[in-house]
Amino acid sequence: MFKRSAVSEGSAADLSTRARIRDAAIAVFGEQGFGVGVRAIAQAAGVSPGLVNHHFGSKDGLREACDDHVRELVRAAKMESMQRPSSATLLQQLAEIEEFAPAMAYLMRSMQAGGPLMVSFFEHMVEDIEQYLATGIASGAIRPPRDLKATARCLAYNHGGGMMLFLQHYEAAHPGPVDFRKALREYSDQMLLPMVEVYTHGLLANSMVYDTVLAQRQSAEQPPNT
């Protein structure tokens, strides 16, 4: 699924330098957006601009590597919760939520930036969510939806859009450099319980809306009588 490994072949020093540049880029892109130049990223990583281009070829190549790494961070956390659903796993992830701040800031900037890289990033996210759901179904953590692919895309839009709107609102409401660690903690404090309640217990009192929409959809999909 990944375009390439998070690291490339080379010496141990090369691998360490590549990872340091990538992590610095994720932080800088998240704080300043994708308009920032390679020189600022190199300065944050403590390397020369030429070394950034040596490892990633171009700014777009660096961004692709950042995309892959951010997706893998999120994917690993989601897979853990789906493969081993437990109170202990959930509480540990909640306790460590601030550690995801650079990745979430980066994700927000990616959605703001748009363009082909953002589209590719989002489509890979949808694929990842399909895997989360399939894993959760296999482990018994999730009830099988009627249409796995459609549900994955719906969740990608709803969760991705919801978090991005929250972070953008937080940024607008807090002038100056944004503390994304604090923002992510506030997101968890405000959103997690009502979100989990809706997914666990549902919101609608009966199935009338679902039955009506499903019947309408099935009727529209049937070929006309000849």
Structural domain span for residue 127? 67-221
- The backbone region for 184, taken as left when phi is positive above 0, alpha when psi lies in -120 to 50, beta otherwise, is alpha
Alpha carbon of residue 189 to chain centroid: 19
Q: What's the CATH number where 92 sits?
A: 1.10.357.10
Single out the residue of 81, 62, 78, 58 nearest to residue 6, CA to CA: 62
- With a CB cutoff of 8 Å and minimum separation 6, the contacts of 210 are 204
**Looking at this protein, which amino acid is placed at residue 147?**
D
How many H-runs (helices) and E-runs (strands) does the chain carry? 10, 0
Structural domain includes residue 35: no
Q: What is the pLDDT of residue 176?
A: 85
Structural domain includes residue 51: no
- Rounded Cα distance between 156 and 96, Å, is 22
Structural domain includes residue 33: no
- Rounded Cα distance between 150 and 127, Å, is 11
Instruction: Please report, in tens digits, the pLDDT of each residue of the chain (226 residues total).
Output: 223 333 333 455 555 889 999 999 999 999 999 999 999 999 999 999 999 999 999 999 999 999 999 999 888 888 888 888 888 888 888 888 899 899 999 999 998 888 888 898 899 999 999 999 999 999 998 999 999 999 999 999 998 889 889 988 998 998 888 899 999 999 999 999 999 999 999 999 999 999 999 999 999 887 776 5
Structural domain includes residue 22: no
Q: How far apart are the first and last CA of the chain?
A: 44
Alpha carbon of residue 80 to chain centroid: 15
The tally of domains found in the chain comes to 1
Q: What is the pLDDT of residue 8?
A: 38
Query: Per-residue DSSP letters for 125-186?
Result: HHHHHHHHHHHHHHHTSSPPPS-HHHHHHHHHHHHHHHHHHHHHHHHHHS-SS--HHHHHHH
- Rounded Cα distance between 109 and 123, Å, is 16
- Rounded Cα distance between 180 and 75, Å, is 20
Structural domain includes residue 82: yes
Structural domain includes residue 187: yes
Residues 101 and 183: beta-carbon distance below 8 Å: yes
DSSP class of residue 11 equals -
The reported pTM is 0.78
Structural domain includes residue 202: yes
Structural domain includes residue 115: yes
